[in-house]
Amino acid sequence: MTLRTICFHGPESTGKSTLAARLAAQLGTELVGEYGREWCEANGTYTSMADLVEIATEHLQRIGAARARAEAKGAQWLVLDTDPVMTAVWAEMLHGNQHRFFATLPHIADLYLVPDVDLRWVEDGLRYFGDPDIRRRFMELSLQELDRRHLPYAMIRGKDDARFSNVLKAVRTQFG
């Protein structure tokens, strides 16, 4: 059985964490949390380029460990609440470019699910970009990064249960 990895990707305050946790529960599999959020909770919201490389490196290690555990169990799925590809987008948003480290990222997920900015932005003390125009720009950069890397993705729209139903449809469409 082949392990398939599904990653939630895109701007903040679009429901990625909620959807990722719900999908992992539905699939009965492990969820790799958003390490960047954990890092910011511990260190504050300012992130230098070196911090972003550190965040991405730790996230890669956590994904690798989760993948090994999932494969050892014979699991079919692994769900990621973002990954270092998203950290590369954050570098672009915050610093206007990316460190060369991000160009060397390995293939991480088999499908990226990108929740649209069709939900209201919610301030939580760690989020940066509530302005609608900036959120759209963040979405554009998120999609451009996936396109540039030739990674498969599906847009996720709707609210509440309809949004999650669209997650499940995207997974079925991609994997049958």
d(CA 100, CA 42): 26
Task: Give the model confidence (pLDDT) of 130-176 as tens digits.
Answer: 688 989 999 999 999 999 999 999 999 999 899 999 999 999 999 98
Quick: pLDDT tens for 32-50.
999 998 998 899 888 999 9
Q: Which class is domain 4-175?
A: alpha beta
CB atoms near residue 46 (< 10 Å):
8
d(CA 58, CA 52): 10
From residue 112, alpha-carbon distances to 5, 19, 81 in Å are: 9, 12, 10
Looking at residue 166, its pLDDT comes to: 97
88, 95, 113, 115 from 108: Cα distances, Å? 13, 23, 13, 18
On whether the CB atoms of residues 27 and 175 are closer than 8 A, the answer is no
Q: Residue 110 above 90 pLDDT? A: yes
| pLDDT at res. 176 | 84
SS3 category, 168: helix
Domain residue ranges of the chain, discontinuous segments joined by +: 4-175
Number of H helices, E strands in the chain: 6, 5
